[in-house]
């Protein structure tokens, strides 16, 4: 009987301690305005401009290569023409995905730094048309933009 009371008391103390350590289950959440970050952060603007330039160059080069292939082989079959177009599109899509990943990584790194600095548990993207954080969350958009200077 005494062992059961001691076990129950120990379990209650452990749960109380866990609640105190965890802050009684309250999470600190920050949010960013993703549109503002992409418009105002210099690192993001530079990366977007570079990506757009590279994609434009790739599209121009793909068009030139396709024209060259058609001139070299005027009797090219429709299937070969479609294959060449698909290859060009895959290259451009790969380039686009590469720059999209770089953007995401930069924004994620800035958000992680702000989370650590402000001791937040999470940062969410709070779009104006579909808000994620309605109340009780901290706007950290300016801090994220500052990280991306």
Domains along the sequence of the chain with CATH: 2-147 (3.30.910.20)
**Structure tokens given for 116:** 């650590």
Tell me whether strands 122-125 and 29-32 are parallel, antiparallel or unpaired: parallel
Q: How confident is the model at residue 51 (pLDDT cuts 50, 70, 90)?
A: very high
How far is C-alpha 148 from the chain's CA centre?
14
Dihedral sign, CA of 99, 105, 108, 112? negative
pLDDT in tens, 58-76: 999 988 888 888 888 888 8
| Buried b / exposed e along 17-54 (16+ C-beta atoms within 10 A) | eeeeeeeeeeeebbbbbbeebbeebebbeebbeebeee
Q: How confident is the model at residue 57 (pLDDT cuts 50, 70, 90)?
A: very high
Angle at 59 between CA 57 and CA 62, to 5 degrees: 110
- pTM higher than 0.85, yes or no? no
pLDDT for 113: 94
Given a cut of 90, whether residue 108 has pLDDT beyond it is yes
Rounded Cα–Cα distance for residues 89 and 106 (Å): 26
Rounded Cα–Cα distance for residues 54 and 97 (Å): 12
Given a cut of 60, whether residue 9 has pLDDT beyond it is no
Considering only residues 61 and 23, tell me which one the structure prediction assigns the higher pLDDT.
61
pLDDT for 93: 93
Mean pLDDT of 92-119: 93
Given a cut of 50, whether residue 20 has pLDDT beyond it is no
Average per-residue pLDDT for the chain: 81
Across the beta sheet with 122-125, the strand order is 122-125, 29-32, 138-139
pLDDT for 24: 53
């Amino acid at each position: 009987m005494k062992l059961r009371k001691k076990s129950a008391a120990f379990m209650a103390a452990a749960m109380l301690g866990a609640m105190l350590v965890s802050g009684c289950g309250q999470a600190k959440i920050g949010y960013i305005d993703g549109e503002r970050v992409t418009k105002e952060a210099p690192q993001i603007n530079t990366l977007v401009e570079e990506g757009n330039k590279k994609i434009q160059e790739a599209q121009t080069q793909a068009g030139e290569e396709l024209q060259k292939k058609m001139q070299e082989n005027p009797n090219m079959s429709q299937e070969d023409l479609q294959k060449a177009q698909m290859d060009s599109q895959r290259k451009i899509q790969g380039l686009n995905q590469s720059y999209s990943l770089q953007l995401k990584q930069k924004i994620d790194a800035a958000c992680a730094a702000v989370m650590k600095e402000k001791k937040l548990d999470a940062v969410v993207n709070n779009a104006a048309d579909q808000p994620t954080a309605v109340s009780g969350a901290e706007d950290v958009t300016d801090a994220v933009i500052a990280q991306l200077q």
